[in-house]
Amino acid sequence: MPLETLALAFFVTVAAGGVVWVFVYPLLSGERHAEKRVASVAKSDTAARLSAIKNVPKVRREQVEESLKELEIKQRKHVKLPVSVRIEQAGLSWSKRKFWLISAALGLGSFALVMVTSGNVFAALALAFTAGMGLPRWTLSYLKKRREAAFLNGLPDAVDVIVRGIKAGLPLLDCLKVIANDSPDPVGGEFKKIIDTQTIGIPIGEACAKLYDRMPVPEANFFGIVISIQQRSGGNLSEALGNLSRVLRDRKKMKAKVQAMSMEAKASAAIIGALPIIVMVLVYLSSPNYIELLWTTPVGRIMLAASGFWMLMGVLVMRKMINFDF
């Protein structure tokens, strides 16, 4: 039947694309390169800080060096995060067991759907693997990035609240409580966790440094470094946080400029990616007998699956070309 062969070709294409998404996409999207770049920047930033404090008195220099070493060791631990940590970073309250149950349900549902529609075991297994292993992880990654974007949007205002509070004579802990009570999530929720961590006896510097574990962005790491070093070695906290606020706002402006400059390329990529599908639909509406050969003959099904696979590869390559990370 033409409908069954069309469904088979669709499921094979989706399954192949899912496998590519799970295994090949991290290599093409530049995520691993971005992680290595962030790690190298963190190392160079640590070295620069160590060289900049050579003229500081010996006791304070030793304290700062110890703080930087601990933070560097903590950064190296974020190589491969467990599922529970990724769920927490995505802002979900799921348990690890619930995540695996949802993954298993998606995999079994996809397998049953393909078996009922086409009966192809290989396509069913490929799609079940994609839906069970790839889709939940992609969802966590999407929610994590969206939560990080919302956090970065509100962090400069939160730092400004701390700066004004300290200049007005409030303690640092009271400033953090103001942010936790008045700021929307995820900023308010993350600062509430800092207060809760400090309440059970952990120093406030370590509590702020743990923010990077739940929100792995450089800005959160900068904030934790400033608070941790100031708590250990002293200094003008309002001035340091004021400089941090300016840096955060400058990074936000630069990111907005990059997004504005890349919108033309993104629109062109979207048009190029959608053009083959639009042409295929128009040809089917005008001359269905002409294009039905793609899913009614074995050679046509192979060509359709190969075209879908290479089209997906082209979309990923274009996404990498227009995805500017800094």
| Residue type present at position 214 | R
d(CA 300, CA 151): 49
Using omega within 30 degrees of 0 as the cis cutoff, is the peptide bond preceding 186 cis? yes
**CA-wise closest residue to 248 among 145, 157, 172:** 157
Domain ranges for the chain: 2-322
Q: Going residue by residue through the chain (326 aa), what tens digit of pLDDT does each one get?
A: 455 566 566 666 656 666 566 556 555 555 556 566 655 544 444 444 445 444 444 455 555 556 555 555 555 554 577 888 888 888 888 888 999 999 999 999 988 988 888 777 888 888 888 888 888 888 998 999 999 989 989 999 999 999 999 988 888 889 999 999 988 888 999 999 999 888 888 888 888 888 888 888 888 888 888 888 888 777 788 888 888 889 888 888 888 888 888 888 888 888 888 888 899 899 989 888 888 888 888 888 888 888 888 888 888 888 877 776 65
d(CA 159, CA 152): 11
pLDDT of residue 79: 55
| Residue type present at position 97 | R
Kindly give, in sequence order, each residue whose CB lies less than 8 Å from that of residue 177, ignoring residues fewer than 6 positions away: 195
Can you give the C-alpha Rg of the chain in angstroms? 25
